Amino acid sequence: MHYSFFSLLQNALTGHRGWTPTWRDAEPKGAYDVIIIGAGGHGLATAYYLAKEHGIRNVAVLEKGWLGSGNIGRNTTIIRSNYLLPGNIVFYEWSMKLWERLEQDFNYNAMVSQRGVLNLYHSDGQRDVYARRGNAMRLHGVDADLLDRDQVRAMLPFLNFDDARFPIHGGLLQKRGGTARHDAVAWGYARGASDRGVDIVQNCEVTGFVIENGRITGVETTRGKILAKKVGLSVAGNSSRVAALAGMRLPIESHVIQAFVSEGVKPLIPNVITFGAGHFYISQSDKGGLVFGGDLDGYKSYAQRGNLPTVRDVCEGGVALMPMIGRVRILRNWGGIMDMSADGSPIIDKTPVEGLYLNAGWNYGGFKAVPAAGWCFAHLNARDEPHSAAAAFRLDRFARGAVLDEKGQGPQPNLH
């Protein structure tokens, strides 16, 4: 059913009895043209664009848990395209453009809010680094504004400008960046895909691949064998585990990152702010909770929870940046499992197994990438060639030495 003011009015007048389920919880069929593994943001977006842009509707999305049970529901909801390297900027800017028209496109309120993302700098050297990044963005047609201290003070007077160790000198602002309602992104894509005939199958874990003569012909699951001409892998933190079922080793480690939400408070933080001297980023949800996070815990983990030293580190960063939040109480914290790649950039590519495609290595940037990752992965699945915006995200780039190392950290996934 199409959502509109008219449908709202009609249902309001008939006691809201006319609403139908947002998407269909399907039983698996025996065979599909394409199977996407993982009903998270990326998998659902891929299925949606396969159906909508490429007319491939005989598609199943298999999910081991429930829809949106992974990182699409465990992030800090930030969207931005403030990258440095050409291979990354083009992709993330395409994602930002898709975010900007997403709600009209899939007819669902994803609460996309372009409230601005501000990265603070605290030294002259850091200012130069940010100026360079801002210039790289502008050269690619992305908006970027380098603000000085007074401009930041006019925007955010509550920051700790005169901290003895890390005084705030200014910031790099991307006005088009912001936040989106993460769960609604999953639901919107699920609905759009389901309406076009895609089967979303929950509680269906893939336990093996059926490979004949180097070509994929289906998957083994906890609900039986399902045949498919093509299979796409969009399983984020579980990428190494699932790829191992097809005999592959990936340049990926799984790490836990923690995020936090406070009790609801009155409107306080107008945009997304990141602390340049530690690793701390914060925004405020429409419900009033402060949503924030920091660094990885640093060790490999599949546990979806972290440890207290990182909690303390994140909170110290927050209080150093804005002392006023010192007495705000934390309501919840959680961990998500990140597929940290060896160069900090993602992979959208074919694999050595014909018909098996890989979408992985999103580090902690998977949420903002959801629309473009779905778009480009669908393109790869449908046409067997990479989309121009994701042309740099090749699996063989590590062996070729053509890494996309945004931070210059080297092959140490926990440092990206």
Partner 1 sequence: MRIPCPFCGPRDVSEFVTLGEATGPRPDPAAPDAAEKFFAYAYLRSNPAGPSEEHWYHALGCRSWLKVVRDTRTHEIESAALAREGAR
Check binding of 303 to partner 1 (CB under 8 A). yes
Beta carbon of residue 91, minimum distance to partner 1 (angstroms, whole number):
21
Residue type, 112: V
Helix or strand (DSSP H, E) at 375? helix 370-383
Check binding of 139 to partner 1 (CB under 8 A). no
Nearer to partner 1, 139 or 303 (CB): 303
| Span interacting with partner 1, options 170-178, 287-295, 299-307, 344-352, rule CB under 8 A | 299-307
Q: Could you tell me whether strands 356-360 and 117-121 are parallel, antiparallel, or unpaired per DSSP bridges? A: unpaired
**What number of residues does the chain have?**
416
**Subset of residues 376 to 405 that bind partner 1, contact rule: CB under 8 A:** 398-399
303 vs 314: CA distance, rounded Å:
19
Check binding of 408 to partner 1 (CB under 8 A). no
Check binding of 251 to partner 1 (CB under 8 A). yes
Check binding of 206 to partner 1 (CB under 8 A). no
Token pair listed for 282: 């914060």
Q: Cα dist. 163→166, 219, 250, 292 in Å?
A: 5, 56, 43, 20
Q: Are 184 and 108 in contact (CB under 8 A)?
A: yes
Beta carbon of residue 328, minimum distance to partner 1 (angstroms, whole number):
24
387 vs 91: CA distance, rounded Å:
10
Question: ∠ CA(105), CA(118), CA(164), 5° rounding?
Answer: 160
Check binding of 278 to partner 1 (CB under 8 A). no
Check binding of 298 to partner 1 (CB under 8 A). yes
| Span interacting with partner 1, options 42-50, 215-223, 238-246, 356-364, rule CB under 8 A | 238-246
- HSE toward the beta carbon, residue 245, CA cutoff 13 A: 20
Check binding of 252 to partner 1 (CB under 8 A). yes
Residue type, 101: R
**Across the chain, which distance is largest between two alpha carbons, in Å?**
66
Check binding of 241 to partner 1 (CB under 8 A). yes
Check binding of 234 to partner 1 (CB under 8 A). no
| Span interacting with partner 1, options 62-70, 190-198, 249-257, 348-356, rule CB under 8 A | 249-257
Q: From the list 216, 342, 353, 378, which residue makes contact with partner 1 (rule: CB under 8 A)? A: 342
How many residues belong to the site for partner 1 (CB under 8 A)?
A: 25
Backbone angles phi, psi at 272, to 5 degrees: -95, 130
Nearer to partner 1, 107 or 333 (CB): 333
Q: Which residues bind partner 1 (CB under 8 A)?
A: 238, 240-241, 244, 249-254, 298-303, 307, 309, 342, 398-399, 411-414
